[in-house]
Amino acid sequence: MFFASDNSGPAHPEVLTALMEANQGYAMAYGADAIMDGVRTRIREIFEAPEAAVYLVATGTAANSLALATLSQPWQTIFCSPVAHIHEDECNAPEFYSGGAKLTLVPGGDRMTPEALRGAIAGEETRGVHGPQRGPVSITQVTERGGVYSIAELQALCAVAKEYGLPVHLDGARFANALVALNASPAEMTWKAGVDAVSFGGTKNGCMGVEAVIFFDPKHAWEFELRRKRGAHLFSKHRYLSAQMAAYLKDDLWLRSARQANANCARLADGLRAAGAEFLHEPQANIVFAAFPRATHRRLMAAGAVYHLWGGTLDGQDESEKLACRLVCDWSIGTEQIDRFLALL
């Protein structure tokens, strides 16, 4: 009953098998391996973007920070949600990689609205050299609270950015979970909507540690390569990143895993709803934020359930007080685990 995070589950056996297969003989280092050629080709096909520049790194923070640094200048500000991972969970990595750019928090929750985004951009008035200059917009899809922007919503946010000539980055740590939730194509969810660069996550969805960074305009390619190397994120034995990503994309493993994770979450959410839990956010992918009584939390944790409380603690007298928690389902959690959890509720 492990619902703490989708970065705590095992890697998919197909990924491990691919690593084994890749581990034969010699391979060119630093991204010149043959497996990477296949990955690049496959991602371009999947995204219907034959010119796209495609790179691999091992962590989501590296993907986000390097992509944003490439799209921005140190004297600019990056627009994002107040709960964006790049703001709350990366220990100033975007500021570090960008050389000291600022992050402007678009008022609201995890979901930016076009109105709030426009207000934030307009609010960073161009007072000559005095204030920070307007820089990229970063959108998280699936959001940090488990929401999924519709294609129309993404289009609307990108349109605001384009009004001001600003590039758009998509933090897709859970890209596949969003895609299957929307039943859209990768192109629709990215460049066709106006996205310029994507962090395309593999780690949380069945890989060991690999994320692709995709620029639809290849003009960014060389700068990104230099930034990746300077950031110490270029792997010498790169084939092991390539092999993970190749397996992830092969036979739609990425989509199968995401569908499984989302289905697991839907099963969990249905059970929670039936048990009278309150939802803090409408679950749309593989994350649920729900509240139920302290006594129930106590019972679940005593039985071995692992997850994060959200803004409260088990300490406290009032057993009926409702405490919020975050429950994340990855592809690997079995229905029996979910059902056992629900039974304990």
Question: Cα–chain-centroid distance for residue 197?
Answer: 13
Residues 6+ apart with CB under 8 A from 272: 279, 288, 290, 292, 342, 345
The least CB distance from residue 297 to a copy of itself, in Å, is: 19
Nearer to a copy of itself, 39 or 182 (CB): 39
Q: Does 165 sit near a copy of itself (CB under 8 A)?
A: no
Among 2, 164, 279, 310, binds a copy of itself (CB under 8 A): 2
Strand pairing of 211-215 and 53-57? antiparallel
- Residues 316-345 within binding reach of a copy of itself (CB under 8 A): none
Whole-angstrom distance, CA of residue 33 vs CA of residue 43: 16
Nearer to a copy of itself, 232 or 302 (CB): 232
- Residues 230-289 within binding reach of a copy of itself (CB under 8 A): 230-237, 240
Number of residues in contact with a copy of itself, rule: CB under 8 A?
A: 75
The answer to whether the beta carbons of residues 136 and 71 sit under 8 Å apart is yes
Q: Does 110 sit near a copy of itself (CB under 8 A)?
A: no
Nearer to a copy of itself, 189 or 210 (CB): 210
Nearer to a copy of itself, 184 or 234 (CB): 234
Nearer to a copy of itself, 32 or 343 (CB): 32
- Residues 201-220 within binding reach of a copy of itself (CB under 8 A): 203-204, 208-209
- Residues 89-108 within binding reach of a copy of itself (CB under 8 A): 89-93, 95-103, 105
Whole-angstrom distance, CA of residue 256 vs CA of residue 306: 25
Among 37, 41, 163, 229, binds a copy of itself (CB under 8 A): 229
Binding part of the chain for a copy of itself, among 16-24, 43-51, 138-146, 262-270 by CB under 8 A, reads 16-24
**Amino acid making up residue 28:** M
Whole-angstrom distance, CA of residue 308 vs CA of residue 74: 35
- Residues 20-59 within binding reach of a copy of itself (CB under 8 A): 20, 23-30, 57-59
Instruction: Give kind and range of the element (H or E) at residue 211.
Output: strand 211-215
The least CB distance from residue 183 to a copy of itself, in Å, is: 28
Question: Burial code of 205-227, b = ≥16 C-beta within 10 A, e = fewer?
Answer: bbbbebbbbbbbeeebbeebbeb
Binding part of the chain for a copy of itself, among 83-91, 250-258, 290-298, 312-320 by CB under 8 A, reads 83-91
Nearer to a copy of itself, 295 or 303 (CB): 303
User: Among 252, 249, 275, which Cα is nearest to 327's?
Assistant: 275
- Residues 287-306 within binding reach of a copy of itself (CB under 8 A): 306
The least CB distance from residue 165 to a copy of itself, in Å, is: 14
CA separation, residue 49 to residues 41, 68, 152, 186, 194 (Å)? 10, 20, 21, 10, 13
Q: Does 133 sit near a copy of itself (CB under 8 A)?
A: yes
The answer to whether the beta carbons of residues 334 and 9 sit under 8 Å apart is no
The least CB distance from residue 12 to a copy of itself, in Å, is: 9
DSSP state of 320: T
Which residues are bridge partners to 208 per DSSP?
none
Look up residue 159 and give its two tokens.
């349109």
Binding part of the chain for a copy of itself, among 13-21, 148-156, 192-200, 262-270 by CB under 8 A, reads 13-21
The least CB distance from residue 227 to a copy of itself, in Å, is: 7
